[in-house]
Amino acid sequence: MKRFYLLLFISAICTQAIAQDNYWQQEVRYNIQVALNDKKHSLKGDLSVDYINHSPDTLRYIWFHLWPNAYRNKNTAFAKQLAADKTNTKKTTSNEPGFIDSLRFTINGQPAATESDTAHIDMIKLVLSQPLLPGKQLTIATPFYVKLPNYYSRSGYNGQQFMVCQWYPKPAVYDRKGWHAFPYLDQGEFYSEFGSFKVDITVPAEYVVGATGTLQTQPELDKYKQIGLQNSKNEKAVTYKTTTPGKRKTLQYYGERIHDFAWFAGKDYVIRYDTLQLTQDDTIDVFSYGQTSGNKTWKNSISYIKDAVRHYSQWIGKYPYPVVQAVEGPSNLSSGGMEYPMITLITSPNAKEEEMDAVITHEVGHNWFYGILGSNERDHPWMDEGLNTYFQFRYEAEKYRSNSVLGPMIPPYIKELPDSAFQERIYEVLRSVPADKPISTASTGFTNKDDYGIVVYLKTATWMHKMETELGRDVIDKALQSYFAKWQFKHPQPEDFKKELEEVSGRNLDTYFALLDKEGKL
Could you list the pLDDT tens digit for every one of the 522 residues in the chain? Answer: 444 334 433 344 343 443 456 999 999 999 999 999 999 999 999 999 999 999 999 999 999 999 999 999 999 999 999 999 887 765 555 567 999 999 999 999 999 999 999 999 999 999 999 999 999 999 999 999 999 999 999 999 999 999 999 999 999 999 999 999 999 998 888 999 999 999 999 999 999 999 999 999 999 999 999 999 999 988 788 999 999 999 999 999 999 999 999 999 999 999 999 999 999 999 999 999 999 988 999 999 999 999 999 999 999 999 999 999 999 998 776 667 899 999 999 998 889 999 999 999 999 999 999 999 999 999 999 999 999 999 999 999 999 999 999 999 999 999 999 999 999 999 999 999 999 999 999 999 999 999 999 999 999 999 999 999 999 999 999 999 999 999 999 999 999 999 999 999 999 999 999 999 999 988
285, 278, 305, 463 alpha-carbon torsion, rounded to 10° = 140
Considering 152, 253, 370, 457, which one is annotated as catalytic? Answer: 457
Q: Is 465 annotated for ligand binding?
A: no
Please identify, in words, the CATH class of the domain defined by 389-517: mainly alpha
CA angle 276-278-281, nearest 5°? 105
For residues 387 and 460, the answer to whether their CB atoms sit within 8 Å is yes
In angstroms, the CA 297 to CA 310 distance is 20
418 in helix, strand or coil?
coil
Q: Is CATH 3.30.2010.30 correct for 214-371?
A: yes
Which of 339, 346, 331, 345 is closest to 365 using CA atoms? 339
Q: Which residues pair with 143 in a beta bridge?
A: 46
User: Would you call 363 a catalytic residue per the annotation?
Assistant: yes
Q: Is the dihedral angle over the CA atoms 295, 314, 477, 20 positive or is it negative?
A: positive
Show Cβ contacts of residue 144 under 8 Å, excluding neighbours closer than 6 positions: 43, 44, 45, 46, 47, 100, 101, 102, 103, 168, 169
Considering 339, 363, 377, 396, which one is annotated as catalytic? Answer: 363
Q: How is domain 25-193 classified at the architecture level of CATH? A: Sandwich (2.60)
User: Would you call 452 a catalytic residue per the annotation?
Assistant: no
Residue type, position 373, single letter: L
Global pTM reads 0.93
Q: Is 339 annotated for ligand binding?
A: no
Query: Any idea where the domains of the chain sit in the sequence?
Result: 25-193, 214-371, 389-517
Question: Residue 292 phi/psi, 5° resolution?
Answer: -60, -35
How far, CA to CA in Å, does 385 sit from each of 22, 79, 395? Answer: 28, 23, 15
**In this predicted structure, what is the pLDDT of residue 11?**
41
Show Cβ contacts of residue 268 under 8 Å, excluding neighbours closer than 6 positions: 160, 161, 239, 291, 292
Same CATH topology for 25-193 and 214-371: the answer is no
Q: Is 366 annotated for ligand binding?
A: yes
Which of 194, 165, 214 is closest to 373 using CA atoms? 194
Residue type, position 82, single letter: L
